[in-house]
Structure 1
Amino acid sequence: MDETRGPDAAPSDAELLLETASEAARAVGPRLRKAFRSRPPVATKRDFHDPVTEHDRAAEETIRAVITSRWPRSAIVGEEGGETGSGDLCWYVDPIDGTANFAAGLPFFCVSIAAAVRGELVAGVIYDPVRDDEFTASTAGAWCNGTPIRSTGASRDREAMLLSSYPTPLDLETHGEEALRRYGRFLASFSAVRRPGSAALKLAHVAAGWADAAYGTRSQPWDVAAGALLVRQAGGVYLGDPLAEGDYLAFVGGFDLGSSALAEVAP
Structure 2
Amino acid sequence: MNDVSIDVPASRELAGIAERAARATGDRLRKAFRSRPEVALKRDFHDPVTEHDRAAEETIREILERECPGSAVIGEEGGLRGGADGALRWYVDPIDGTANFAAGLPFFCTSIGAVVGDRVVAGVVYDPVRDDLFTATLDGAACNGEPLGSTGAAGDRTAVLVTGYPNARELRRSGDRALRRYATFVESFATVRRPGSAALSLAHVAGGWADAAYGTSVNAWDVAAALLLVRQAGGTYLPLGGEPGGQDWDAPGYVACVGGFDLAGSVLAEAAGLPAVGSET
Task: Give TM-score scaled by structure 1 length.
Answer: 0.96
Which residue does the alignment assign to 2:81?
84
| Amino acid paired to 1:11 | I
Quote how far apart the aligned CAs of 1:183 are. Answer: 0.3
Name the CA shift for 1:156/1:236 in 2 (closer, same or farther; >3 Å).
same
The DSSP-based 3-state class of the residue aligned with 1:152 is coil
Which residue does the alignment assign to 1:110?
109
Q: Which runs of 4+ in 1 moved over 3 A?
A: 6-10
Are 1:11 and 2:6 matched, yes or no? yes
Partner Cα distance (1:47, 1:198) in 2: 18
**Candidates 37, 41, 45, aligned match of 1:44:** 41
Gaps of 5+ in 2: 240-246, 274-281
| Amino acid paired to 1:151 | S
RMSD: 1.2
CA contact (8 A) 1:8 1:89 kept: no
Partner Cα distance (1:91, 1:78) in 2: 8
Partner Cα distance (2:116, 2:104) in 1: 36
Partner Cα distance (2:143, 2:2) in 1: 29
Partner Cα distance (2:269, 2:32) in 1: 40
Name the CA shift for 1:217/1:98 in 2 (closer, same or farther; >3 Å).
same
1:236-255 equivalence runs, <5 A: 236-240=235-239, 241-255=247-261
Are 1:257 and 2:263 matched, yes or no? yes
The DSSP-based 3-state class of the residue aligned with 2:112 is strand
Mean Cα displacement is larger for which, 20-29 or 252-261? 252-261
Partner Cα distance (1:53, 1:34) in 2: 14
Provide, for residues 147-193 of structure 1, a one-character-per-residue CA deviation record: whole Å limited to 9, x for no partner.
00110000110000000010010110000000000000000000000
CA contact (8 A) 1:8 1:71 kept: no
Partner Cα distance (1:20, 1:204) in 2: 19
Which residue does the alignment assign to 2:187?
188
Quote how far apart the aligned CAs of 1:246 are. Answer: 1.1
Task: Give TM-score scaled by structure 2 length.
Answer: 0.91
CA contact (8 A) 1:8 1:73 kept: no
Quote how far apart the aligned CAs of 1:9 are. Answer: 6.6
Name the CA shift for 1:57/1:46 in 2 (closer, same or farther; >3 Å).
same
Provide, for residues 13-53 of structure 1, a one-character-per-residue CA deviation record: whole Å limited to 9, x for no partner.
10110010000000000000000000000000000000000
Quote how far apart the aligned CAs of 1:266 are. Answer: 2.2
Quote how far apart the aligned CAs of 1:8 are. Answer: 6.2
Identity of aligned residues (%): 63
The DSSP-based 3-state class of the residue aligned with 1:41 is coil
CA contact (8 A) 1:88 1:118 kept: yes
| Amino acid paired to 2:168 | P
Which residue does the alignment assign to 2:52?
55
CA contact (8 A) 2:2 2:87 kept: no
Which residue does the alignment assign to 1:125?
124
Aligned length: 262
Quote how far apart the aligned CAs of 1:243 are. Answer: 2.2
Provide, for residues 216-253 of structure 1, a one-character-per-residue CA deviation record: whole Å limited to 9, x for no partner.
01210100111100000000000005421411110001
